[in-house]
């Protein structure tokens, strides 16, 4: 080949080389992309829920949107035997993570599975239900006491004495801790122990003469009967224009002034963040159990109107005010 021929072919060779290089780069990119996509899609999360109720389903829906994985859902229908069977079946399938929703589902999962990471949600008190293990962590529904008192002080800055009645040791332990925390905030806690529902009217009447507000504590006797809570405790408080701090939304619609709560959707999203960390390689033992990140306040408008003339009341801007039916 002559020198003239070699020079005439140089532009063609350069173009061919550039085209091949570009093709190889694009191919490598797509191979990497497909490998990543395949790896993400290969992640599997097994969901066990205690029963088919709206709060659990809301949390699961939000969770599912926040997690990049294939999801399989099982309902144990509040049956511990069925829950154990589901857990054992899931163990043979060996998913990357188990998401348990509700105390019963979490108990079934944590007591039957030791090696697969378990993230729980919608559980008020993990210790009470014997939920533990190196492979177990999650988001509990309980709002930290320090946060509760901080918000209480914002809402009722002049409160000085809070009363509470209780019957069992667990409620007493909670109140002992609450008493210490309130004392640090300059608030005194007055408590009365009861033995049966018959003791409630007299105990409430007595304690109301000593305090300026009531804290309704979840207790097997005190709060076991909705009728007693509404017609005995809350009715007496409303008649005396005394504010009551509720323990859930129902207690507020029944006549308590307010309660603190977290949206089920937010709990699901927060749980999803934990699962994503585990899918990225984080060990569940290195992720501490969390409380709700987002806390909201739920008020009863009728109760506000009834008692606001007797106390200083500050309603947060993000509070939800229930106007009744």
pLDDT in tens, 257-303: 999 999 999 999 999 999 999 999 999 999 999 999 999 999 999 99
pLDDT of residue 94 exceeding 50, the answer is: yes
pLDDT at 36: 39
Domains 42-141+263-286 and 145-261+296-322 share a fold: yes
pLDDT of residue 35 exceeding 70, the answer is: no
DSSP symbols for 103-116: HHHHHHHHTT-SSS
Point out which residues pair with 120 in neighbouring strands. Answer: 100, 138
pLDDT at 42: 73
Please say whether the beta carbons of 247 and 223 come within 8 A.
Answer: yes
In CATH, 42-141+263-286 is 3.40.50.2300: yes
The Cα–Cα gap between 325 and 309 comes to 24
Going by their DSSP bridges, the two strands 258-261 and 296-300 should be labelled as antiparallel
Q: Which CATH architecture has domain 145-261+296-322?
A: 3-Layer(aba) Sandwich (3.40)
The Cα–Cα gap between 186 and 180 comes to 10
The Cα–Cα gap between 162 and 179 comes to 9
Helices 264-279 and 54-66: crossing angle in degrees, nearest 10, is 40
Binning pLDDT at 50, 70 and 90, where does residue 14 land?
low
> What is the distance of C-alpha 59 from the center of its chain?
9
Segments making up each domain of the chain, as ranges: 42-141+263-286, 145-261+296-322
């Amino acid at each position: 080949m002559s020198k003239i021929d070699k020079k005439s072919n140089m532009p063609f060779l350069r173009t061919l080389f550039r085209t091949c290089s570009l093709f190889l780069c694009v191919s490598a990119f797509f191979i990497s992309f497909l490998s990543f996509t395949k790896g993400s899609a290969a992640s599997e999360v097994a969901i066990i829920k205690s029963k088919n109720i709206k709060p659990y389903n809301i949390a699961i829906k939000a969770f599912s949107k926040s997690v990049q994985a294939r999801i399989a859902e099982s309902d144990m229908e509040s049956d511990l035997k069925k829950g154990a069977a589901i857990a054992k079946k899931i163990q043979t399938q060996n998913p990357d993570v188990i998401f348990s929703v509700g105390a019963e589902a979490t108990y079934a999962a944590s007591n039957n599975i030791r090696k697969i990471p378990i993230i729980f949600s919608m559980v008020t008190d993990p210790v009470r239900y014997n939920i533990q293990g190196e492979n177990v962590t999650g988001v509990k529904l309980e709002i930290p006491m320090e946060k509760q008192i901080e918000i209480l002080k914002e809402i009722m800055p002049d409160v000085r004495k809070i009363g509470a009645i209780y019957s069992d040791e667990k409620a007493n332990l909670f109140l002992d801790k609450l008493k210490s925390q309130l004392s640090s905030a300059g608030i005194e806690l007055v408590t009365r122990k009861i033995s049966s529902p018959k003791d409630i009217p007299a105990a409430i009447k007595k304690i109301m003469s000593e305090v300026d507000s009531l804290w309704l504590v979840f207790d097997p006797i005190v709060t076991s009967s909705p009728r007693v809570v509404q017609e005995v405790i809350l009715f007496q408080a409303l008649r005396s224009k005394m504010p009551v701090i509720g323990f859930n939304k129902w207690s507020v619609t029944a006549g308590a002034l307010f309660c603190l709560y977290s949206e089920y959707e937010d709990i699901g999203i927060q749980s999803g963040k934990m699962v994503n960390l585990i899918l990225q390689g984080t060990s569940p033992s290195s992720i501490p159990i969390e409380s709700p990140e987002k806390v909201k306040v739920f008020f009863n408008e009728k109760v506000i109107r009834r008692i606001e003339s007797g106390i200083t009341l500050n309603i947060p801007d993000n509070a939800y005010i229930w106007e009744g039916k």
